[in-house]
Amino acid sequence: MLENGPQPDRYSGRIADCLCPRPKLQPMSGAMMKLTQEKRFPVFPGNNVGLSWFIKEIDGKQTCWHNGGTTGFKMCNSFCNNPAVAIVVLCNTGSDASDDGRDFYRVGDTLIRKLIETGMKSK
């Protein structure tokens, strides 16, 4: 035991836990999640931005989406609350920096559109 220094956390026994305590995370409430999906301002035709989400209408249904990537990797995700559908597309790519991913991101857009159509038909 250290006499005058940090003492190990009594639960984990790790000195690092008392030097850099980790916050106790609580699950995000439904109300908090809805706040992230509210339209804040328009960004480009047919799309708005919320908190970390782009928001657009597909067949009259609000969808939230985000995408991104780095050299060698691309991803896109999109979800709709009604009908409850979601997609996540992950892709390893080449290192071609001139590829902006527009073709790849169209795949995600097409998938969520098909899921929304299917979900609306099944009601």
| Tens of each residue's pLDDT in the chain, 123 residues | 445 555 544 545 555 555 555 566 666 677 777 888 888 888 888 888 888 889 999 989 999 999 888 777 888 899 998 899 999 988 887 555 555 666 777 888 889 999 999 887 776
User: Does the residue 7 lie in any domain?
Assistant: no
The model's pTM: 0.63
Query: Does residue 87 lie in a domain region?
Result: yes
State which residues form the domain around 93.
Answer: 29-121
Please give the span between the terminal C-alpha atoms of the chain, in angstroms, as a whole number: 64
Do 53 and 66 contact (CB within 8 A), yes or no? yes
The answer to whether position 24 is within a domain reads: no
Phi, psi of 57 (to 5 degrees): -95, 135
Instruction: Count structural domains, the chain.
Output: 1
Interatomic CA distance for residues 37 and 54, integer angstroms: 8
Instruction: Give a yes or no: residue 88 inside a domain.
Output: yes
Checking phi first, is residue 98 left (phi over 0); if not, alpha (psi -120 to 50) or beta? Answer: alpha
Residue 8 within any structural domain of the chain: no
Whether residue 57 lies inside any domain: the answer is: yes
Is 105 inside any structural domain?
A: yes
